Structure 1
Amino acid sequence: MAVGTTYTLNLRMLFLPPLAMAAHDREVELLDGTDEADHAQVDTLALLESVRRYADRTTVYCHASGIGSPGTYPRLLTFAEDCVVQVFTPTPGHIFHPKVWALRFRRDAELVHRLVVCSRNLTDDSSWDTLLVLDEGERGTGIPGAPAADFVRALPGMAAGPIAENRPEQAHDLASSLSDVWFQLPKPFTSGELRPLGLRPAPPTWPMPARADRAVVISPFLDVPTSARIAARTTPVLVSREETYALVGARAVQHTSVKVLSPHAEGEIDGDLGSERVRPSEVRTGLHAKVLVWDEGHTGHVFTGSANATHAAFNGNVEFGVLLRGPRRTCGVEALLPDGEASRDRITFAHVLQDHEITDPDPGEDLALEAEREAELHHEALLQAGPRLLCEQEDEGRYAVSLRFTRPFPAGPGPTRVRLVSRPRTDAAPPDRARWEGVQLMQLTPYLEIVTHVPVPGQDDLEVASVLKAELVDAPEDRAAQVLRSYLGSEESIVRYLRFLLDEAEIGSVWDDLELEDPAGEGRRGPSGTFEDLAILEPLLRAAADGSETLDRVEALLRDLGAGPERPNVVPEEFLDLWQAVWRASQERRR
């Protein structure tokens, strides 16, 4: 089971967690999804199987307006729709900003937990980030997991839109087992604690003392009040971005040593963003890590996680961090930025830093960022208004989809248009009269792209896009089965997929010659063959004899495909007869 949180979400990266959880079974590569038919089919089926196998155990909670606008629409989202839950914070006007994963695995008869605390959102950015992995250890020693349990337990209560019935139950179940867990301390730290922030209104929780011995603050975003409270007996070091320094001004940080990443440390975004929309506030490259390091006496402290060095982060935002303590020399400022000149013999963080001079003493303003936030608040208001997508069948395989709201919503800061993310951008319409006709079944989706054009004084209008998850009403019950059949396409491909499930020892040879029928009808088909050619009997009987959970996966596939006597053309009749006999026998054996 996996529960993850993120501020921003790339819908394509939603496939990454189930794929990672399937990695112990086989080694695969993640598709970029631009056109599934053009990729090696081994990757397509690996991704399809991992999403089908683990999506029902994976939930991602993200900020209400934090889903980024995709380029092309991947049909695989049909199987992962219940994974996404958009949320609001308990403190109005603040953001849901944690980046943490709580994971539970089953090892034989015992449950094992892992906590991943990071500064990276579930996106494909190539920025500098941090990641801390905490594994379950001996009870009573290390870092108590109860705060993580409280955090996970609180998540369903923040849901802003539709949430699948089983997801709150899963969160509470995971929280129950987390409550008694202790996590191993990473060496050389000697103590630590988990610190979720913003779960309920509370006094500010800035972790650093009023005056440390030494201090380093790494944060891509700053504000003037927080910059002023960074203090130490020796000059504290502040690492941020040039754009951020321009906003706070030189006067606010004049008591610090101001640093930025060196140009050679800045990477380009891997891959082509294509038609993906990018927001002004997004940090796609460069510094995105958030780390506070300070020394008090002989003890070094490291606070790492999602929180920027801003007032909002520690006073209302929902965040998650970890505070670690240990010997000053190995766990404090000296370990991060050693005294003396950097050398080739010892690579340190100092190698990628350089001094920065701020030219303006006073705080600047970024009107585009202010306009972006106005648009985001409007998109959040649209989500609070309860969007519903009503499906009406027009003819076989085509539908009319109308957008309705259960509550009124305010006017936006500029013109706003919406579209199904599966439809061309030319199909966008005003939210109060949005209707799409001739929508194919494969295009039915609860995801709406909301685009608002906000006027910015002295600049061109700013275009801000978010994706909201609406309630999909009256969609065909077998929609997922039809999408699944579109991926497999032919009887031969379905049988080969069954063989893939049954005989993992020979997966490579099965995948090497596997091709799928093109769902668009371009005539691409799998290799010809018969049921007997595939020698499926032996692995099926072996799985039955071993009591393997593989049989459950085959049963789930056939159920999702809608295979049965009433649909004789979905899978070969010979296999269906054999399967029913084996399945009945395996169920009797289990009883």
Structure 2
Amino acid sequence: MLRPGSDRLSYSHLLAPPPDYYTDFALGTTYSLDLEAMLGIPMALFMSEELGSSATQNPVAVLEGLRRSTDNLAIFCEPGQIKIPHKNNTVYSLVESSVFQVHLPRGRSFHPKVWVIRYAGPQKDPIYRIIVLSRNLTFDRSWDMAVCLDGKKGDEPTEKNSPLQDFIGFLIQHINSRKKRRRIKNIQEEIGQVYFDPQIQQVADFQFCPLGIDGHDKKSSSLFQSYKDLVIISPFLSKTPVKEFDSLALSNSSRTLITRRAELPKLLPEHFESFQVYVMKELVAEGEEGLSEDELQAEVPQNQDIHAKFYARSKGSNHALYFGSANCTQRAFDANVEFLLKLDYRKWGFKLADILEDIFGKDDKDNPFEKIESIPQGDFSDDDPADDLQRAIKELCRGKMRAHVISGEHQTETAGRGSLV
């Protein structure tokens, strides 16, 4: 299920419509947005082209993809996190009407990575697809995870989708296009009767878990509960949630934490006394040509690390798997807007060690990770001055700036709304 060398997903295939269907409307969320990467999204959604294929280098094909997506695509992102393209091109102005920045108060971040897509077809019932990811809409090569659910409209409403409807309702508040607001509102209403099928026999149930919006927080996600075994994959850490997870362990429990090497100094060694801690091997982080089964030998190796967010909790025969955007940080669970998908997994004889074997391989040669035997010493804090500066920059980007031009030589006046904290 989680073998890094073979169980790889194609972003293009996730977005492309099923056979005999076309994309009717798609809304996506991301923290950071690369406009160059975004140019390929309409081609995947509306033309079933591969991201990065030769077609995405064809100006005529790119323009056709943008034309088809004009009224049928909405992407929501964090203010100030849109990457400026390397080269100026008027084509980027064509995506402006599809991008909406979500301004949140008090330094909170908009951090979910979700797609809600409606596919239609001649004389066919619409298909809805929910994709829950940890990947931003960028060219980053780090390791991420994604889960995809398809469903069709049933005869009766289902309460299971209420959290998803609430999340879509939150997005509607941040869209300034009357036409797209109406389209998304229709999707919100219709999705209340859509029955999603995990298509995996071992998945007994699932739960949509938005965080940071009205009525939805870490308590409603049921993530922080007692366990016998626990696996956490998170590229970023802070001591408060790690300590809380540690406190929920039953006797003789196992705890595994996979993170980035750079995050280890943020926590004191005693926080990891109960955890088996792993980071990506430096050789792997420098490039992936030796790991993937794909034909990558001709590509230039790029630095990489884990970017996936994954939580697995077991107690008896009950196994809960969480995929999505939330890092194991206090801000993720107490401040940011995030989105997780919980899968209740049931399989005779299954244990979390099976997931770890998939990730680590059967011997050290196949293992892209290495165990950390000693944690760097030092007096470290979650409150890094660099983080404070980054938050101040974000607040500046979130501010709704305006300018006034006053007649007269060398007389200008600017003003801005918003506050720096």
Contact 1:197–1:314 under 8 Å retained in 2: yes
**Superposed CA offset, 1:496-524 (max 9, x none):** xxxxxxxxxxxxxxxxxxxxxxxxxxxxx
Aligned mate of 1:179, from 189, 192, 201: 192
Tell me which residue corresponds to 1:95. Answer: 109
> Residue type of the partner of 2:376?
T
Q: Report 1:3-152 matches (<5 A).
A: 3-24=27-48, 27=49, 30=52, 43-89=58-104, 92-109=106-123, 110-137=125-152, 139=154, 144-152=160-168
Structure 1 residues 269 and 158, CA gap change in structure 2 (3 angstroms)? farther
> Residue type of the partner of 1:367?
P
Alignment partners' CA distance in 2, 1:218 and 1:41:
33
Contact 1:251–1:362 under 8 Å retained in 2: no
Give the alignment's TM-score, normalised by structure 1: 0.57
Tell me which residue corresponds to 1:155. Answer: 171
Alignment partners' CA distance in 1, 2:403 and 2:189:
33
Structure 1 residues 40 and 368, CA gap change in structure 2 (3 angstroms)? same
Structure 1 residues 410 and 337, CA gap change in structure 2 (3 angstroms)? closer
Aligned mate of 1:287, from 301, 306, 312: 306
- Tell me, yes or no, if structure 1 residue 260 matches structure 2 residue 300: no
Higher strand share: 2
Structure 1 residues 284 and 136, CA gap change in structure 2 (3 angstroms)? farther
Q: Offset of 1:41 from its aligned partner? A: 9.9
Q: Which has the higher contact order (CA 8 A, sep 6+)?
A: 2
> Residue type of the partner of 2:276?
S
Q: Let me know the Cα RMSD of the aligned residues.
A: 3.4
Tell me which residue corresponds to 1:302. Answer: 321
Q: Offset of 1:51 from its aligned partner? A: 0.9
Q: How many residues matched?
A: 368
Q: Report 1:491-510 matches (<5 A).
A: none
Q: Offset of 1:265 from its aligned partner? A: 3.2
Alignment partners' CA distance in 2, 1:103 and 1:404:
44
**Superposed CA offset, 1:178-229 (max 9, x none):** 1111111242211111111111276643633443010001111111111101
> Secondary structure of 2:138's partner?
coil
* Structure 2 runs not aligned, ≥5 long: 1-24, 290-301, 406-411
**Superposed CA offset, 1:9-54 (max 9, x none):** 1111221221102334xx56648xxxxxxx9997111111111111
Structure 1 residues 137 and 322, CA gap change in structure 2 (3 angstroms)? same
Contact 1:292–1:303 under 8 Å retained in 2: yes
Structure 1 residues 331 and 21, CA gap change in structure 2 (3 angstroms)? farther
Alignment partners' CA distance in 2, 1:13 and 1:194:
27
> Secondary structure of 1:70's partner?
coil
Alignment partners' CA distance in 1, 2:256 and 2:178:
48
Alignment partners' CA distance in 1, 2:207 and 2:419:
44
Alignment partners' CA distance in 2, 1:288 and 1:76:
30
Alignment partners' CA distance in 1, 2:141 and 2:55:
25
Q: Offset of 1:74 from its aligned partner? A: 2.7
Decide which structure has the larger Cα Rg and report it.
Answer: 1
Tell me which residue corresponds to 2:238. Answer: 223
Q: Offset of 1:331 from its aligned partner? A: 6.2
> Residue type of the partner of 1:259?
Y
Alignment partners' CA distance in 1, 2:51 and 2:132:
24
> Residue type of the partner of 1:150?
D
Q: Report 1:334-373 matches (<5 A).
A: 334-338=353-357, 342-343=361-362, 351-356=367-372, 357-360=374-377, 362-364=379-381, 366-373=384-391
**Superposed CA offset, 1:86-109 (max 9, x none):** 0123x6321110000000011223
Structure 1 residues 342 and 220, CA gap change in structure 2 (3 angstroms)? closer
> Residue type of the partner of 1:107?
G
> Residue type of the partner of 1:171?
I
Identity of aligned residues (%): 24
Tell me which residue corresponds to 1:568. Answer: none
> Secondary structure of 2:376's partner?
coil
Q: Which moved more, 1:213-222 or 1:173-182?
A: 173-182
* Structure 1 runs not aligned, ≥5 long: 32-38, 271-282, 391-402, 414-591
> Secondary structure of 2:129's partner?
strand
Aligned mate of 1:192, from 202, 206, 218: 206
